[in-house]
Amino acid sequence: MMHRVPEFVPHRSGVFALKNDRRKIVYVSWTQNLQKRSHAMSHMLLRHDRWLQHPKKIQPYWPIRDLPKHKSSEFIFVVERIVSPMPTLALQEVNKVQRRYQRQGYKIVSGNRATTGMVRVAGRKMRLAEAVREYSDDDYLTVYRRLERGWTTEQALGLEKPDPRWHTPKQKLRKQREKERYEMRVA
């Protein structure tokens, strides 16, 4: 059964597949925003490609723990279904799509995405997405990348000025925070 693939990825909730036809593996999930998820997945794959070329300069970002790491050219992002944002319906749709891929001989990659980042802002512990909505004018990905680079939560959200890049002691502190966050994600 053929289905029409949209010419663009919509800003809607839906079920998507990140599949590798060559190796017959597929990751199927639901997201509230297909376009943002496709951007995040392409960023993940391209960063991995850059890491293969420069392993000492770039840290890989691979939020889907069980997804085998292969070149970005082997993967394709497919919008499977546009569904309502109700989690119970979304789970049913994900299961349907997974069964279809299994019948086609694909290995389903299980494994959840990495846990949602938790931060402490103004004494409150909250999800990073909530903190971005409540305290920042920047988008989630910008704030997330700042945290990855070792900025404090307040600096990443724009509540405090970031440390100057040329300030050596503060640079060392930022590098240490970046290393600690990376080790926490890997563990």
- Per-residue pLDDT at 25: 93
Radius of gyration of the chain (CA): 19
- Per-residue pLDDT at 116: 56
What pLDDT, in 10s, does the model give residues 12-65? 888 889 999 999 999 998 888 888 888 888 888 888 888 888 877 777 677 777
The band of 3, judged by pLDDT with boundaries at 50, 70 and 90, is very low
Measured CA to CA, the distance from residue 133 to residue 116 in angstroms comes to: 15
What pLDDT, in 10s, does the model give residues 110-140? 765 544 567 889 888 888 888 989 998 888 8
Q: What average pLDDT score do residues 138-153 get?
A: 81
The band of 100, judged by pLDDT with boundaries at 50, 70 and 90, is very high
Same domain? 31 vs 89:
yes
- Mean of the per-residue pLDDT values for the chain? 81
- Per-residue pLDDT at 37: 86
| Residue 145 placed within a domain | yes
Neighbour count for residue 74 (Cβ, 10 Å): 14
Measured CA to CA, the distance from residue 102 to residue 98 in angstroms comes to: 6
Is 9:79 a contact under the CB 8 Å cutoff? yes
Segment holding 170, helix H or strand E: helix 168-186
Closest CA to 29 of 68, 83, 104: 83
Number of domains in the chain: 2
Same domain? 73 vs 151:
no
Same domain? 162 vs 81:
no
Residue 163, domain extent: 118-186
Is 85:32 a contact under the CB 8 Å cutoff? yes
- Per-residue pLDDT at 1: 34
Same domain? 104 vs 171:
no
Encoded amino acid at 22, one letter? R
Same domain? 124 vs 182:
yes
Same domain? 78 vs 98:
yes
| Residue 21 placed within a domain | yes
The band of 7, judged by pLDDT with boundaries at 50, 70 and 90, is low
CATH number for 50: 3.40.1440.10
Same domain? 157 vs 102:
no
- Per-residue pLDDT at 112: 54
- Per-residue pLDDT at 2: 40
| Residues 6 or more apart whose Cβ sits within 8 Å of residue 113 | 29, 63, 64
In this predicted model, which residue has the larger pLDDT, 5 or 135?
A: 135
Q: Which two tokens stand for residue 73?
A: 């050219």
Same domain? 58 vs 88:
yes
pLDDT at 181 over 60: yes
- Per-residue pLDDT at 110: 77
Neighbour count for residue 167 (Cβ, 10 Å): 11
Q: Which two tokens stand for residue 40?
A: 């995040």
- Per-residue pLDDT at 186: 63
Name which of 69-78, 109-118, 143-152, 177-186 the model is least confident about: 109-118
Measured CA to CA, the distance from residue 71 to residue 88 in angstroms comes to: 33
